[in-house]
Amino acid sequence: MTFITFEGIEGSGKTTQIHLLMDWLHQRTDRALLTREPGGTSIGEQVRAILLNPINTEMTPEAEILLFSAARAQIVREVIRPRLADGWIVVCDRFADSTLAYQGYGHGLPLDDLLGITEFATGGLWPDLTVYLDLDVETGLRRKAATPEEWNRMEAKEVAFHKRVRQGYQALAAQNPQRWLVLDATQPVEVIQKQIRERVAAIVGGQ
Ligand code: TYD
């Protein structure tokens, strides 16, 4: 059982890298699952729609963290834990570290409170490996602007917010270097993927 998460600011190329990794994993095992946060369950997808709807401008940061955590509590118990218990490799597009980076460092909510809420939501589950695609904010937002249909409520926030999120990710990674694989997201796609596969192979090799 191996739990792998991907983190990064908007435009970091997370989705591309995750799909390349899943192609590779599926060639090696029929027990690899991709899921995403917020979402990944029926309840989670409904919560996601509330969170990302641009109409919800009045949403407070406190309401936001509780909605993210509600979706997380559901996916951990409905999907992630049962699959891990059955020996699957579970890959999640964002997880609890997104809350610490976005709601904590980004919005300035107290990290201790966020950790408490997150531990409650996850039941103490943390990833075995977190792949973090590090990128400067201007490049990330420029990449995203190329696909305006993906623009959503979260991405409309100011550049300064995203800069705090990036600093948050870097701080989290520095605190736990064994769990975090930090990669320069400006490298070519194949170069990044090769580094991810090497690390994942080292973890799941014996599985
Ligand atoms: P999504 O469209 O999935 O963005 P991406 O493709 O960048 O992953 O939207 C998820 C947004 O929600 C993204 O801006 C990050 C944010 N988010 C939080 O603020 N806190 C969280 O706990 C999670 C899981 C996501």
**For ligand 1, atom 11, which residue shows the shortest CA distance?**
154
Q: Is 37 in the pocket of ligand 1 (CB under 6 A)?
A: yes
Q: Is 98 in the pocket of ligand 1 (CB under 6 A)?
A: yes
**SS3 state of residue 121:** helix
For residues 6 and 92, what is the distance between their CA atoms, to the nearest angstrom? 6
Work out the number of other CB atoms within 10 angstroms of the CB of residue 102: 26
CB 182 within 8 A of CB 173: yes
Q: pLDDT, tens digit, for every residue of 56-85?
A: 999 999 999 999 999 999 999 999 999 999
Q: Is 99 in the pocket of ligand 1 (CB under 6 A)?
A: yes
pTM flag (> 0.85): yes
Asked whether the predicted pLDDT for residue 104 surpasses 70, the reply is yes
**For ligand 1, atom 6, which residue shows the shortest CA distance?**
10
Q: What is the mean pLDDT of residues 183-207?
A: 93
Q: What is the mean pLDDT of residues 21-27?
A: 97
Q: How far is CA 46 from the centre of its chain?
A: 18
Q: pLDDT, tens digit, for every residue of 156-174?
A: 667 889 999 999 999 999 9
Average per-residue pLDDT for the chain:
93
Asked whether the predicted pLDDT for residue 5 surpasses 80, the reply is yes
Pocket test for ligand 1, best of 15, 62, 102, 133 (most atoms within 8 A of CB): 102
- In the chain, % of residues over pLDDT 90: 83
How close are the terminal C-alpha atoms of the chain, in Å? 8
Number of domains the chain contains: 1
Asked whether the predicted pLDDT for residue 100 surpasses 70, the reply is yes
CATH (domain of 86): 3.40.50.300
**For ligand 1, atom 23, which residue shows the shortest CA distance?**
98
Q: Is 154 in the pocket of ligand 1 (CB under 6 A)?
A: yes
Q: How confident is the model at residue 152 (pLDDT cuts 50, 70, 90)?
A: low
For residue 10, the model assigns a pLDDT of: 87
Can you give the residue range of the structural domain that contains 106?
A: 2-204
For residue 142, the model assigns a pLDDT of: 81
Amino acid at 172: L
| Residue 22, token pair as written in the block | 């899943």
Q: Is 8 in the pocket of ligand 1 (CB under 6 A)?
A: no
**For ligand 1, atom 4, which residue shows the shortest CA distance?**
10
